[in-house]
Amino acid sequence: MSEAGFLELTGIESAYGSTAVLKSIDLSVRHGEFVALLGSSGCGKTTLLRAIAGFVTPTAGTIRVGGYDVTQQPPDKRGMALMFQSYALWPHMTVADNIGYGLKLRGVSRAERAQKVAAMQALLGLEGLGERKPANLSGGQRQRVALGRALVIDPEILLLDEPLSNLDARIRLSVRHELRALQQRLGITAIHVTHDREEAMVMADRIVILDAGQIAQQGSPEEVYNKPASAFVAAFMGAENLLTLQGSVEGDRLVIAPGPANALGSVPLASRPLVSGAIEARFRPEAAQLFPVDAIPTLGPGMTFRGLVRSVSYPGGVWRHVVQLGDREVLADSLQAFAAGDQVALHVPAPSLFLFNSDANRIR
């Protein structure tokens, strides 16, 4: 069995009535890889997961596991286990019966079943809860029972549909790491659907960002975070600050025309596929550096804007400022607090400034 392309999706399409939900999805997942499908609600990520699981038949395309075409196979013939968002535990069965049901269906003897269920309970920290009903468990315990039920049948691929969204924020942080550690220990291939960017970042080997039924970008967490391929990905990955600039490509630099908040400047093109014209510039609040206008130090490559602090708040760690740059307001973090009404210089280093041609240019 080849390591690369263990789970191979080719040209997967799906439609709900006349609305296309998935548009020609190609995705190749290595054996043992943890892939996060990330996107906002309605982007098709759950439909894609259900298509992989076999609950949705794609209108076009093929799904292969280990080289075998499973597109028309029923869910249980794909070597996959799906863990549902609602956990979908059976309320009339005990924890042990819930976990062991998959084994019962496979005709595993009662003794062996008890032994495997006990081992799974030990693995997931559910010892002593075997005789309880799901209604008498905490949210975190239910989540682990659902995970145990999926893992006990030794699936080759574990599919997770927003498994952490029903947990308290505090538990969620630790469960992320537990789930990731467990996946690595078992060496299982995992596809994880989530709308939580940070969750995808800390758990996944690779993030696949979906937008309107298409893959907007895929890559390692560092790649999608630091090198977003489109304005959508940049915004989705937290670069919500948006400025519109005029730029012209000159050699290996992009020269940015003076605007309401900036003087003439330039940044290295650094293999960005830009053309001259209107430029959409995006950056994260934490990428901005704020200085008093009368004390700007020598700065590296990047763009410096001048603006007015509108308000300031303290979300923890850094001060967050609302800064007006021309007719736009942006957020900027700084270790040092500025007062509302202060004139400031806002510098964004070149690597953190995400530049894209505006839609008008792209259409042309």
Partner 1 sequence: MSRRVLGLFLVAPSLAVILFLFILPLCLSAVGAFRVDQAWGLGNFWKAFDLYTKDILFSAVIVGLSTVLIGVASVAIGGYLTLGTHPVAVAILRWLYRWPMFIPFIVVGQILRAFLAKNGMMNNVAVSLGLMTPLDATSFLDWRGIVIAFVWKQTPFVALLVAGAMASVNREGIEAAVNLGASRLRILFEIVLPQVTTTLAVGLILSFVTMMSVLSVPLMINAQSPTMLTADIAFRVNSYGDYGVANALGLISLVLAASVAWIYLRISLKEQA
Q: Contact positions toward partner 1, by CB under 8 A?
A: 53-55, 74-77, 80-82, 84-86, 88-93, 101-102, 105-106, 149, 153
Nearer to partner 1, 21 or 287 (CB): 21
- Nearest-approach distance from CB 202 to partner 1, in angstroms: 26
Whether the CB-CB separation of 284 and 241 falls below 8 Å is answered with yes
Nearer to partner 1, 44 or 102 (CB): 102
Number of H helices, E strands in the chain: 9, 20
- Nearest-approach distance from CB 77 to partner 1, in angstroms: 8
- Nearest-approach distance from CB 48 to partner 1, in angstroms: 16
Local structure of 121: helix, strand or coil? helix
Closest CA to 165 of 177, 157, 175, 155: 175
CA 337, 339, 341, 346: dihedral to nearest 10 degrees?
-10
Nearer to partner 1, 53 or 346 (CB): 53
- Nearest-approach distance from CB 134 to partner 1, in angstroms: 10
Whether the CB-CB separation of 202 and 172 falls below 8 Å is answered with no
Nearer to partner 1, 56 or 204 (CB): 56
CA atoms of 12 and 71, how far apart (whole Å): 10
Nearer to partner 1, 81 or 215 (CB): 81
CA atoms of 354 and 363, how far apart (whole Å): 19
- Nearest-approach distance from CB 302 to partner 1, in angstroms: 49
Nearer to partner 1, 102 or 265 (CB): 102
- Nearest-approach distance from CB 142 to partner 1, in angstroms: 13
Q: 343 pairs with which residues across the strands?
A: 308
